[in-house]
Structure 1
Amino acid sequence: MLDPHRLVILRAVISAGSVHGAAAGLHLTPATVSQHLRVLARQTGLVLFEKSGRGIEATPAALHLAEESTRALADLERLDRTVADLRVGRAERITFSCFASVAQAWMPHVVGVLRTASPTTVVEISINELHPSGGRRQPDIEIRNEALESDPVNLNGYQRHVLIEEELHLVLPANHPLCVQEVVEMVQLRDEPWIDHDINDGPTGQIIARACTTAGFTPRYVARLDDHHSALSLAAAALGVTVIPSIALTGMPDNLSVRSLAGPTVGRRIVAFTRAHRVRARLIHTALTALREIADQPRAPHTRRVDQL
């Protein structure tokens, strides 16, 4: 089995571009770093570095090994934290995977409820837009969004709970000519510059793209991002319009306006999937109850609660 410490050293040398730079960052001597690299090369049977001028250059094999070690080293760091938690009596843990707007708008309430119910519990939250494979561990609760017209998705080993259905809204500069309308037809956005906040073409991005296709056009993007906050900032700078879910309409700049959309309306469904887990069943039930509470609270117009399917 490879020594994780040597993998850390390999990654440090690649990042620093030299043995001396890595040694300084790791508080080791250059001789020690070089020795660990030689042992790692011998264990793997790989050429990890080649001379390049007065320095060294990582081989493709070394770069691939460093990339593949990312998750393993992250898992070991998590295991170290688990041991530390157990040492001080924090034995319980519950994990969530959700998208960014839910993490911002709902998870403070959920974590607060869990802290009250079980003060020693550690809550882990992964953003599934950034970690499509599920993050560092299998989540106890997975929160996803899906198109209203799509067939229900089910996950093996999980129970499905519909939380809300919500509309997506047009966000545009407050001085935009379309602000005189309370409702904007999608086709009116055909020639507008668009700002995308789902560059990875996730469920929300696909919902918006389908609505544009239904209206007979393809958005003319001037910027594509993976963060709705940044998209709102660009819209506030009058660089384009964007379409944002109701749950994400918080903390907006004052010079932006929000309008409803029609022809078609644009909406999505937010669904929680709870894992069947004998040990954490109580915590999972508490978290699901908290999610239903926060989903049921009034927020942006056109958001409505949906009973559990």
Structure 2
Amino acid sequence: MLNPRRLAILRAVLAAGSINRAARNLSYSPATISQHMTALAKETGLTLFEKQGRGIVPTEAARQLADQAQSLLADFGRLDRVVADLRGGQAEHLAIACFASAAERWMPEVVRTVHRHQPNLTVEISLNEPVDGRGRRRPDLDIRTEPADGAGVHLDGYRRHELTVEELVAVLPAAHPLAGAPGLALRDLEGEPWVDHDIYDSPIGQIIQSACGAAGFTPRYAARLDDHRAALRLVAAGIGVAVLPRLAVAELPGGLVARPLVRPTVLRRIAVHARRDRRRADLIARAVAQLHDSARRSETA
């Protein structure tokens, strides 16, 4: 079996550009680094470094091995944290996966609520759109976007709670000719350049694309990125218009307006999947109750 520590050292050597620099970064001696690389070469049966002039350079095999090891090492890091939890009584962390606007708008009160119940708790919040979750804990709470007219998703080992259904809105510069309308048909935006905040086509992006298809057009993107706040800045700069959930536009930058969408109304459903864990059932239930409260307040904001 390959030694994970040696794979990590290989990645450190490649990142640093030399054994000597990697040794300084890792607080090892160059001889120790060389010994690990020699042992890794024997374990794999690969030539990892070749002489070049007075030094050595990594082979293509070394580069490919280091690339492939990245996800494995992330999983080992997650396993280390699981072991630490087991040693510490298994109750020191609460892992939450959610999308960016939920992290921004709802997580402060959720964290405050669970800390009142368990002050020494560490809450780990990670984005589940668009990353695949490698290297993080299995979430205790997983907050997801769904099409409002679709069947609800159910995850094995989790209890599903619907939090809210919210409208998406068009965001435009205040000086835009369409900004004065009380509501906009989605088709009104057909000829506009768009700023897309979901370049990775996660669920919210799929909802927008489906609505545009129903309205008979495909958006023409002037810019695509994966951050709603940066997308709003591009709209404010006059690059284009954007369609975003209300939760993401609770605090608009100056010079922007949000207008309701009609024909069709574009909706998303937000659900939280709560892990079935009898040991931490009370803690998880408190977090879910706070999410329900935050979602209700968002609806009336």
Q: What does residue range 209-288 of structure 1 map to in structure 2 within 5 Å? A: 209-288=209-288
Aligned to 2:122: 122
Aligned to 2:138: 138
In structure 2, the CA distance between the partners of 1:122 and 1:58, relative to structure 1 (3 Å rule), is same
One-letter amino acid matched to 1:34: S
CA distance in 2 between counterparts of 1:9 and 1:134 reads: 20
Q: Please give the secondary structure, in 1, of the residue aligned with 2:21.
A: helix
Any idea what the Cα deviations from partners look like across 1:184-233, whole Å, max 9, x if unmatched?
11111111010000011011001111111111111000111011011001
One-letter amino acid matched to 2:157: G
CA distance in 2 between counterparts of 1:143 and 1:73 reads: 26
Note if contact 2:200-2:226 (Cα within 8 Å) is conserved in structure 1: yes
Aligned to 1:69: 69
Structure 1: gaps spanning 5 or more residues: 302-309
Aligned to 1:307: none
Q: What does residue range 89-168 of structure 1 map to in structure 2 within 5 Å? A: 91-133=91-133, 136-168=136-168
CA distance in 2 between counterparts of 1:82 and 1:101 reads: 28
CA distance in 2 between counterparts of 1:86 and 1:120 reads: 16
| Shift, 1:59, TM fit | 3.2
One-letter amino acid matched to 1:221: Y
Q: What does residue range 31-70 of structure 1 map to in structure 2 within 5 Å? A: 31-52=31-52, 55-70=55-70
CA distance in 1 between counterparts of 2:28 and 2:12 reads: 11
Q: Please tell me whether residue 185 in structure 1 is matched to residue 185 in structure 2.
A: yes
| Shift, 1:85, TM fit | 7.2
Q: Please give the secondary structure, in 1, of the residue aligned with 2:231.
A: helix
CA distance in 2 between counterparts of 1:75 and 1:124 reads: 16
CA distance in 2 between counterparts of 1:202 and 1:34 reads: 44
Any idea what the Cα deviations from partners look like across 1:233-263, whole Å, max 9, x if unmatched?
1001000001111111133211111111111
Aligned to 2:202: 202
One-letter amino acid matched to 2:14: I
| Shift, 1:129, TM fit | 1.0
Q: Which moved more, 1:285-294 or 1:244-253?
A: 244-253
CA distance in 1 between counterparts of 2:284 and 2:260 reads: 35
Aligned length: 301
CA distance in 2 between counterparts of 1:284 and 1:205 reads: 29
CA distance in 2 between counterparts of 1:52 and 1:174 reads: 61
Structure 2: gaps spanning 5 or more residues: none
Any idea what the Cα deviations from partners look like across 1:275-306, whole Å, max 9, x if unmatched?
111212111111111111111114576xxxxx
CA distance in 1 between counterparts of 2:206 and 2:172 reads: 20
| Shift, 1:73, TM fit | 3.2
Note if contact 1:126-1:134 (Cα within 8 Å) is conserved in structure 2: no
Note if contact 2:185-2:262 (Cα within 8 Å) is conserved in structure 1: yes
- Cα RMSD of the aligned pairs, angstroms, is 2.3
Q: Which moved more, 1:289-298 or 1:238-247?
A: 289-298
Percent of matched pairs sharing the same residue: 51
Note if contact 1:148-1:269 (Cα within 8 Å) is conserved in structure 2: yes
Any idea what the Cα deviations from partners look like across 1:153-180, whole Å, max 9, x if unmatched?
1112211111000001101111100012
CA distance in 2 between counterparts of 1:171 and 1:279 reads: 44
One-letter amino acid matched to 2:39: V
Q: Please give the secondary structure, in 2, of the residue aligned with 1:179.
A: coil
